[in-house]
Structure 1
Amino acid sequence: MDGFSGIGKILIFFGLIMIAAGIFLYFGEKFGLGKLPGDIYYKKGDFTFYFPIVTSIVISIILTIVLNIFFRK
């Protein structure tokens, strides 16, 4: 049964990541995420294209810092 405890820890970790991502997506717009300068937004008629490049960079930097704090050896 030792093999299952490792899988259980992995599932809990990914579950916490999913909860954090859900909270971030739900409340992110209130803090200005998704509408940062540099995000690409193009609308013409019925066509809308949105690519949040700067928001993606900010999220990447924040995740890099947080994961380095938790998983530093």
Structure 2
Amino acid sequence: MMSELGKTLVVIGLGIFLLGGLLWLSGGTLKNFPIGRLPGDILIQNGHFTFYFPLTTCILLSIGLSALLWLGQAITR
């Protein structure tokens, strides 16, 4: 049980490390990436009030993280 947890944490850590390295090496070229401004994200502006809920972004991130965790679990078995 503990060795499986350790393997899973190592895989997640490596994934975060690789993602961080990718963002760092991109040198700001990903600043125009439309994450957070996708069609389906809810934006309501009314006078001095702004409400923003990134619905589509949340769904895509959930799918991506679920796939990453599934892949990490499949690798550690």
With the length of structure 1 as denominator, give the TM-score of the two structures: 0.61
In 1: Cα distance, 2:36 partner to 2:66 partner: 19
**Counterpart position of 2:3:** none
- With over 3 angstroms needed to count, the CA separation of the structure-2 counterparts of 1:28 and 1:59, relative to structure 1, is farther
SS of 1:62's equivalent in the other structure is helix
Higher RCO (CA < 8 A, seq sep 6+): 2
Residues 41 and 51 in structure 1, CA contact (< 8 A), matched pair in contact too: yes
The one-letter code of the counterpart of 1:56 is: C
Give the 4+ runs in structure 1 shifted more than 4 A. Answer: none
**Counterpart position of 1:42:** 44
**Counterpart position of 1:66:** 68
Task: Give the gaps of 5 or more residues in structure 2.
Answer: 1-5, 24-28
CA-to-aligned-CA distance 1:4-44 (integer Å, 9 cap, x gap):
xx7xx68xx4xx75xx58x6xxx875310000000000001
Residues 28 and 34 in structure 1, CA contact (< 8 A), matched pair in contact too: no
With the length of structure 2 as denominator, give the TM-score of the two structures: 0.58
Task: Give the gaps of 5 or more residues in structure 1.
Answer: 1-5
Identity of aligned residues (%): 39
CA-atom RMSD in angstroms:
3.1
Q: Which of residues 54, 57, 60 in structure 1 aligns to 2:56?
A: 54
